[in-house]
């Protein structure tokens, strides 16, 4: 537990995280209570950060020393021990007080979370959202009264009701931000990447270090890599960008590796291809495919054999084909 709070401290204080830390934080935040706690700490940090003090402590050093002092017991006089115990008790009371205030202050945040199902929502502003599996959408406590701000961790398809006075904003843990007035788009947020596909209208996309947002138009796609803060060039949107929602897949001379990736995400199992198939391409369609259907169709089309296990669909080149 200590490790995750160290990562939280680094994230909230603006320090760069390693890829492993980003992944661990993203997994921890899949729990709605953890995400709410993170948002509370982040808002407290931003609020206290606005205060001006002449004292400029070395926060990292003090944090380290604090943990060291707790970890190393020492022999002290009784009166000193009493003082330390009282100080710890006071700290706990203070911490509990802050926790109580944040719970009361932020308890109206609305959180939607999915696990193994897809969920359709209608937000208070009449915007429609479809959440993919393993996704968390958090509405700001002032949503639809003062703003239209949400936080996304996972994947969702948005159809936004137009409101010129209140832009719809989707924020992420990696610091990216999507802003629209009224449009439809698919947004996928992972620990390492953000994928944005625009279906109607124009979407403003901003990265943590960008001076100006990038405008992504209808039929366009863009990818942001959190690991190296790299934003790809705008490209043509993939025809299967929302296939997780429509359950229909269309492939036209598509690299088999890309086919495997998209179908793997949908069926919830790893699709393992034979070696040396990078140049193999596939054309065909699937409608709400199961792991069995994926295995049978691709094996028949490619002349492969297959094995289905609990976590994977594995394709094997037939022995005759190897001779």
Q: Which CATH class is domain 110-236?
A: mainly beta
Instruction: List the structure tokens of 134.
Output: 């393993």
Check residue 45 and give its pLDDT.
62
Residue 289: its pLDDT value, please? 97
Q: Give the model's pLDDT for residue 279.
A: 93
pLDDT of residue 30: 83
Residue 188, pLDDT score: 97
Residues of the chain predicted below pLDDT 50: 49-57, 66, 74-86, 88-94, 96-106, 322-323
Amino acid 27: pLDDT: 80
Residue 5: per-residue pLDDT: 72
Give the separation between CA 31 and CA 252, rounded to whole angstroms: 38
What pLDDT is attached to residue 98? 46
**Does the fold of domain 247-322 match that of domain 110-236?**
no
Residue (of 259, 270, 172) closest to 224 by Cα position = 172
Of 216, 209, 258, 213, the residue nearest 230 (C-alpha): 209
Strands 168-171 and 148-159: what pairing? Answer: parallel
Model pTM above 0.75: no
Q: Is the CB of residue 253 less than 8 Å from the CB of residue 283?
A: yes
Domain ranges of the chain: 2-106, 110-236, 247-322
Please say whether the dihedral angle defined by the alpha carbons of residues 19, 25, 29 and 30, taken in this order, is positive or negative.
positive
Residue 247 tokens, joined: 């359950």
The pLDDT value given to residue 68: 55
pLDDT number for residue 243: 97
Provide the pLDDT for residue 1.
57
pLDDT tens sequence across 71-109: 555 444 444 444 444 454 444 444 544 444 444 444 567
Q: Can you name the CATH fold of 247-322?
A: Phage tail protein beta-alpha-beta fold (3.55.50)
């Amino acid at each position: 537990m200590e490790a995750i709070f160290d990562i939280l401290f680094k994230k909230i204080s603006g320090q760069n995280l390693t890829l492993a830390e980003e992944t661990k934080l993203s997994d921890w935040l899949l729990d709605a209570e953890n995400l709410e706690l993170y948002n509370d700490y982040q808002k407290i940090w931003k609020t206290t950060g606005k205060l001006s003090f002449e004292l400029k402590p070395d926060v990292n050093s003090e944090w380290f020393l604090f943990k060291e002092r707790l970890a190393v017991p020492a022999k002290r006089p009784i009166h000193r021990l009493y003082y330390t115990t009282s100080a710890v008790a006071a700290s706990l009371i203070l911490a509990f007080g802050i926790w109580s205030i944040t719970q009361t202050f932020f308890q109206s945040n609305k959180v939607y979370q999915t696990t193994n199902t897809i969920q359709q929502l209608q937000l208070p502003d009449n915007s429609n959202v479809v959440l993919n599996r393993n996704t968390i959408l958090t509405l700001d406590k002032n949503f639809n009264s003062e703003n239209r701000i949400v936080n996304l961790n996972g994947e969702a398809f948005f159809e936004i009701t137009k409101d010129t006075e209140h832009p719809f904003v989707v924020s992420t843990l990696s610091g990216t931000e999507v802003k629209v007035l009224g449009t439809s788009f698919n947004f996928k947020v992972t620990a390492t990447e953000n994928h944005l596909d625009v279906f109607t209208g124009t979407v403003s996309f901003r990265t943590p270090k960008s001076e100006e947002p990038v405008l992504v138009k209808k039929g366009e796609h863009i990818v942001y890599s959190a690991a190296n803060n790299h934003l790809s060039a705008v490209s043509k949107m993939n025809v299967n960008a929302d296939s997780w929602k429509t359950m229909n897949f269309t492939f036209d001379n598509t690299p088999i590796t890309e086919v495997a990736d998209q179908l793997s995400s949908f069926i919830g199992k790893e699709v393992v291809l034979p070696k040396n198939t990078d140049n193999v391409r596939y054309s065909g369609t699937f409608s709400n495919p199961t792991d069995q259907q994926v295995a049978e169709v691709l094996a028949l089309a490619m002349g492969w054999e297959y094995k289905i296990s609990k976590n994977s669909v594995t394709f094997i080149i037939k022995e005759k084909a190897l001779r």
